[in-house]
Amino acid sequence: MTDYIEHRVKTKIESGVKKAFKIVFIIIAAIVFILLFGYVTMRLWNWLMPDIFGLGLINYWQAIGIIVLAKILFGGFGGHKSSKRTKKSIERCKPGYKKALKNDFSNWKYYDKFWEEEGENAYNEYVTRKKEGEEQQ
């Protein structure tokens, strides 16, 4: 019994340490990404804008400010569409789509019985009609 309890405690501690490590890693990665993104923006601005538009050089914090301003004005870096919006747009584009799918599959339970009673005969009649139609052409 004590081995079981020790195992559970050890497992919980290990999972807690792993989660804490992931959180710290994500925070550090985000900070490095922000620093790198600001630096790249600054270098690109200082390389292109003075020559193309005659604008002045900027420092790191001004580059970060430009990124924040662009985020505010233009609304993001690619964004994320919610599933609700996607579902609504599908429903608007195809008004009877959801209902048609439900109706088609709700009658599926009768397929085997139909095939046993009428399906094979109906199929053979269909093939005969098709063959006669090809011979007449």
CA-based nearest residue to 63, from 30, 93, 41, 89: 41
Q: Which residues contact 66 (CB under 8 A, 6 or more apart)?
A: 41, 45, 58
Predicted TM-score of the model (pTM):
0.46
Give the whole-angstrom CA distance, residue 6 versus residue 4.
Answer: 5
pLDDT band at 59; cut points 50, 70, 90: very high
Give the whole-angstrom CA distance, residue 113 versus residue 98.
Answer: 26
Q: Which amino acid is at 92?
A: R
**Cα four-point dihedral sign 72, 78, 79, 82:** positive
pLDDT digits (tens, 9 = 90+) for 78-130: 555 655 556 656 555 655 555 555 556 666 667 777 777 777 788 788 888 88
Q: Which residues contact 38 (CB under 8 A, 6 or more apart)?
A: 60, 63, 64, 67
Q: How many CB atoms lie within 10 A of CB 37?
A: 14
CA-based nearest residue to 59, from 42, 80, 79, 71: 42
pLDDT digits (tens, 9 = 90+) for 7-48: 788 888 998 999 999 999 999 999 999 999 999 999 999 999
Angle at alpha carbon of residue 56, lines to 35 and 60, rounded to 5°: 15
